Amino acid sequence: MGVAATPGRSRGRASRRERTLANTGETPRAARIGMFSTLGAPRPARREHKAKEVPMDESRRSFLARVAGTGAIVALADPPLVFAQAPAPAAPEPVIPGTVSNADVLKGKDMSVFKVHSERPLTGSVPAEAHDFDVTPTERMFIRNNLLTPDIDAAQHKLTIKGLVDKELTLSVDELKRTFKAVTLQAMLECAGSGRTGFQPTPRGTPWSPTGGMGCPKWTGVRLADVLRAAGVKANAVHVAGQGADFGAVPTLAPVIRSIPMSKAMEENTLIAWDMNGAPLPKVHGYPIRLLVPGWAGSASTKWLHTLTVLDAPFKGTYMDDSYRIPRYPVAPGERMPKDAVSTEAWPVKSMITAPAPNAKFRVGEPILVRGKAWVGDGAIERVEVSLDEGVTWQAAQLDPRGDKYAWRGFRFLHRPQRPGYQTFLARAWDDKGNAQPLVSPWNPLGYFWNGVHRVGVTVEA
């Protein structure tokens, strides 16, 4: 039988707030200290810290009393609006023991282009023009975590493989590296919500731009298939569930567990990775080991991997049954998620323009080299087209040579403007199955898998 998720609360059902947040893939602020483990060993209890009550400032108390006495109507819940003053900056939240602070994480990012979308959980990305590289630099790789970033000692970390296997395995990181053949490949990784702001109305969740929440670095690790074969997968195995060592602040929400079909787990490009771009994984990106499930929504690529469980059915839990789901058929904007929704898997065909930068200026007759990247989660990029007239007509772009199966593919298109004014460039990719990007992606309630055509506008001066 499949493994069922342990309820997130010890008593009663989850609150409406928790259920709402689970449906968006976002993590409530309450979910922060010591997350219980469903598939792995239980986590030790963590000490709770109660906030001290701070007495109200006496002068403010007197003022409020006078206001109440005169019967004045004042927005007491939002004093800055009353006094036309900027609110005091929020004090930095304390670092939870066993986690890495956001300040330390962001030291490894290029803050000249990196934009932080939320601090807890930490999310951030760079704009399209910052992706104008063949390989995404680590300092420009997006961040998307559901819980907190754990501070793990690699020497003590273990990976357990259990469930429908002939023999349960527990491996240290060093044993994993010594026992199995290492491979290096370049592969796209993209959050399911990447591009959410392209949908109208915009669903709740991290406000990823149409080109945010993605990257294409190089990864080094061992094939997941080799590790599963060493454990001996039973004939009735259907899915493999990955669980990481990340946790929240209080045990109110289920841990992040996603499962993938055996066919994807046994694919040669699915890895247990320990290096990104030739260096150990940064802590925020899964150190010391993580899954890499290329081509699929990033939530399948479990970070801080410590348990793999082989199942006879897809895993049942919050991050499989409520979050990371899309309608089986198109729905009208604003509709609720249908009951027959399916789990996010492979990304549809997509592209972005990385140069020129938005609002760049050129002269009439000056060559404009349009560059960009195209990718697809299942298949290969066949061609890319560029439009100069808002999609009325399309012209073929030149493609770079094919790289690794799941790496993005570069394209370029040269244009010499013959008149001044505002010029837009649209890019549209096609895969080898005949699928093309739509001008606008069909709407879905959680804002996943946006793949509408990307546009960049520049000014041409006389």
Per-residue pLDDT of the chain (462 residues; tens, 9 = 90+): 444 443 333 334 444 444 444 444 444 433 333 333 445 444 433 333 333 333 333 333 333 333 333 333 333 333 333 333 444 445 566 778 899 999 999 999 999 999 999 998 899 999 999 999 999 999 999 999 999 999 999 999 999 999 999 999 999 999 999 999 999 999 999 999 999 999 999 999 999 999 999 999 999 999 999 999 999 999 999 999 999 999 887 767 678 999 999 999 999 999 999 999 999 999 999 999 999 999 999 999 999 999 999 999 999 999 999 999 999 999 999 999 999 999 999 999 999 999 999 999 999 999 999 999 999 999 999 999 999 999 999 999 999 999 999 999 999 999 999 999 999 999 999 999 999 999 999 999 999 999 999 999 999 999
pLDDT of residue 92: 61
- What type of residue sits at position 404? D
pLDDT of residue 401: 98
CA 103 to chain centre: 20
pLDDT of residue 41: 42
Q: Where are the domains of the chain?
A: 12-43+86-345, 350-461
pLDDT of residue 249: 74
CA dihedral 257→262→263→268, nearest 10 degrees, is 80
Q: Which fold has domain 12-43+86-345?
A: Sulfite Oxidase; Chain A, domain 2 (3.90.420)
Rg (CA), the chain: 24
Strands 305-311 and 158-163 come out as parallel
- The answer to whether the 12-43+86-345 and 350-461 domains have the same CATH topology is no
DSSP secondary structure string, 176-227? HHHHS-EEEEE--EE-TTTTGGGSSSPPSS----TT-SEE--EEEEEEHHHH
Distance (Å, whole) CA 164 – CA 234: 6
CATH classification code of 350-461: 2.60.40.650
- Does pTM surpass 0.85? no
Three-state DSSP at 60 gives: helix
- What type of residue sits at position 108? G
First-last CA distance in the chain: 71
